[in-house]
């Protein structure tokens, strides 16, 4: 193995897996700022930091478990973290091995196939290892429970963790390969990819919920019955408990044999198939829209054509994962625990007194679900070279962009309304307050959709190679995350302040305050929309 060549391939794949980091480094150099870490090393350090934090959080959660008497819980938590890794790894593996456009360019160069694919495998491991790292804490805790010396426990736990890691990643690659070979998947590639990414996202949410809300053996000092032991995973428990026992040796031998078989299958059958896919996809290009329109009123057939075209643009797994995480994962994991925590009671909430506040909370909710990395924030840039082509046609760009905007706005509105309605019904909010909440969500999403749509046009990029390049505009994911949590913190403080003030007001005072809470954000949205009509939309009129 030529380690120098392999190292360079790993660096390139690290940049491909995280292009926004490369863009950040370039911006720092352009501004005259330097960093002692290269872009690939920065990504590695970032992954290491996430790994340490993730391991610490879940490791702390598992402190106090006596896995020697709870082998069922040992296998349960091991399976949970394995499932998290596999669900999160599906789209990463598929993007890096099957959707990457760099593979066909590597292979003609003086690199061995094994070096090319081993480099990609290493990057996959670096990216996904934080999700599997908590299993090491499970293994280490079991070793401590049986009284093994610290150094021996560290080494033995790492050995088992290494075997499990190889098995999980090789098995995940095999599953992705088998799915990509299904005829239905190959016939409807974009649609099936989107569906599978959606399933993996929903599955990840379900796994996190199962992990968070499951009973534990030491909850409130109670001793609970053990879970049912999961086959094959119980071999790990036997080996860590007593490595020299017959069951332990047979068990770890079975795991090593499974890893060896997977290595052979991946090397002999899967990697050549990936190369063939790369050659077949070499000439695939973005769909070009070639319909002509009129400058004024457009026929219904043109509207259908544009909608079909825009549906084709959004059939990207990374985009759909971001869409689902913003509209499903975040609200479910953050908002639901707040609503269902002790001390909250919405059943007897007075609609006459609190309808304005509920509207305002819905407006804030929109700010937490929609941002620059949503569909509406990249929908114009998704056109790529088609945008310049359409501009050259005798076609109303205002009509074209308006159709694109309303299409993206509808997508951004549907799922948050469904999730919000489900949450409001779950906490048994009165129907008047539910309608006020949904109205706040709708107005907030409309205003934000128009803002981010105009922003996408202002920062238009039609030469992007990866969606993360679009997400990185204007600060990238970190800035967006800070904005979301800033809205959450500031919004929570405002809501608490409003509740405190309104609790001491008369009925007339509450009515006036409620009108202000509804009128202020609504007027802000209307005024900004009128401004966009003059400064943005009118610029496209012929």
**pTM of the model as a whole:** 0.57
Render pLDDT for 150-177 as a digit per residue (tens, 0 to 9): 999 999 999 999 999 999 988 988 888 8
Render pLDDT for 200-239 as a digit per residue (tens, 0 to 9): 666 666 666 555 555 555 544 445 667 778 888 889 999 9
Identify the residue whose tokens are 């059939």: 315
Cα 241 from Cα 103, distance rounded (Å): 44
pLDDT band at 293 (very low <50, low <70, confident <90, very high): very low
| Residue 409 CB partners (closer than 8 Å, separation 6+) | 376, 445, 446, 449, 450, 453
Q: Is 108 within 8 Å of 28 (Cβ atoms)? A: no
Instruction: Please state the domain extents for the chain.
Output: 43-278, 300-540
Give residue 9's pLDDT: 79
Identify the residue whose tokens are 């569909």: 375
Q: Rounding to the nearest 10 degrees, give the CA dihedral for residues 173, 174, 175, 176.
A: 50
Q: Is 89 within 8 Å of 128 (Cβ atoms)? A: yes
Report which DSSP code applies to 462. S
Identify the residue whose tokens are 């760009």: 397
Farthest-apart Cα atoms in the chain, separation: 82
Task: Name which of 361, 376, 373 is nearest 420 in CA terms.
Answer: 361
Higher pLDDT, 500 or 37: 500
Structure tokens at 493: 């403080």
The total number of residues shown for the chain amounts to 542
- Within the chain, how many helices (H) and strands (E) appear? 24, 0
Q: What is the pLDDT averaged over residues 337-365?
A: 69
The answer on pLDDT for 385 being more than 50 is yes
The answer on pLDDT for 287 being more than 50 is no
Q: How many CB atoms lie within 10 A of CB 142?
A: 28
3-state SS assignment for residue 37 = coil
């Amino acid at each position: 193995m030529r380690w120098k060549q392999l190292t360079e391939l790993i660096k390139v794949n690290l940049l491909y897996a995280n292009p926004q980091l490369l863009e950040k480094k370039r911006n720092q150099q352009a501004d005259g700022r330097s960093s002692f870490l290269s872009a690939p090393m920065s990504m590695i350090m970032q992954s290491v930091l996430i790994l340490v934090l993730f391991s610490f959080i879940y490791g702390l959660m598992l402190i106090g478990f006596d896995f020697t008497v709870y082998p069922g819980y040992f296998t349960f938590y091991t399976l949970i973290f394995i499932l998290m890794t596999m669900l999160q790894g599906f789209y990463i593996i598929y993007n890096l091995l099957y959707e990457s456009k760099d593979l066909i360019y590597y292979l003609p160069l003086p690199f061995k196939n094994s070096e090319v694919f081993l480099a990609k495998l290493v990057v996959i491991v670096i990216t996904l290892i934080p999700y599997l790292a908590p299993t090491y804490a499970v293994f280490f805790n079991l070793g401590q429970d049986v009284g093994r010396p610290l150094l021996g426990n560290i080494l033995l736990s790492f050995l088992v963790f290494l075997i499990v890691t190889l098995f999980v990643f090789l098995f995940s690659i095999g599953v992705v390969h088998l799915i990509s070979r299904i005829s239905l998947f190959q016939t409807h590639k974009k649609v099936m990819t989107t569906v599978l990414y959606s399933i993996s996202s929903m599955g990840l949410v379900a796994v996190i919920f199962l992990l968070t809300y499951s009973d534990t053996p030491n909850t409130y000092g109670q001793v609970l019955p053990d879970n049912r032991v999961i086959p094959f995973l119980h071999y790990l428990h036997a080996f860590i408990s007593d490595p020299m026992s017959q069951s332990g040796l047979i068990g770890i031998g079975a795991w090593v044999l499974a890893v060896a078989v997977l290595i052979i299958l991946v090397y002999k059958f899967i990697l050549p198939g990936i190369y063939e896919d790369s050659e077949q996809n070499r000439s695939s290009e973005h769909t070009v829209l070639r319909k002509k329109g009129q400058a004024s009123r457009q026929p219904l057939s043109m509207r259908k054509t544009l909608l079909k075209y825009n549906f084709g643009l959004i059939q990207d797994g990374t985009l759909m994962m971001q869409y689902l995480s913003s509209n499903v994962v975040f609200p479910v994991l953050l908002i639901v625990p707040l609503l269902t925590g002790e001390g909250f009671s919405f059943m007897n909430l007075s609609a006459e007194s609190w309808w304005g506040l509920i509207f305002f909370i819905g407006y804030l909710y929109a700010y937490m679900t929609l941002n620059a990395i949503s569909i509406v924030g990249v929908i114009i840039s998704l056109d790529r070279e088609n945008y310049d082509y359409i501009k050259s046609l005798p076609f109303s760009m205002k009509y074209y962009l308006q159709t694109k905007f309303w299409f993206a706005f509808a997508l951004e509105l549907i799922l948050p309304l469904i999730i919000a309605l489900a949450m409001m019904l779950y906490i048994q909010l009165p129907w008047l307050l539910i309608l006020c909440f949904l109205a706040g969500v709708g107005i907030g999403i409309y205003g934000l959709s128009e803002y981010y749509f105009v922003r996408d046009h202002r920062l238009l990029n039609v030469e992007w190679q990866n969606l993360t390049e679009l997400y990185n505009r204007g600060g990238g994911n970190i800035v967006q995350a800070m904005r979301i949590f800033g809205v959450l913190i500031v919004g929570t403080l405002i809501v608490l302040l409003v509740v405190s003030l309104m609790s001491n007001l008369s009925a007339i005072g509450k009515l006036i305050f409620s009108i202000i809470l509804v009128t202020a954000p609504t007027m802000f949205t209307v005024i900004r929309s009128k401004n966009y009509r003059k400064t943005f939309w009118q610029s496209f009129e012929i």
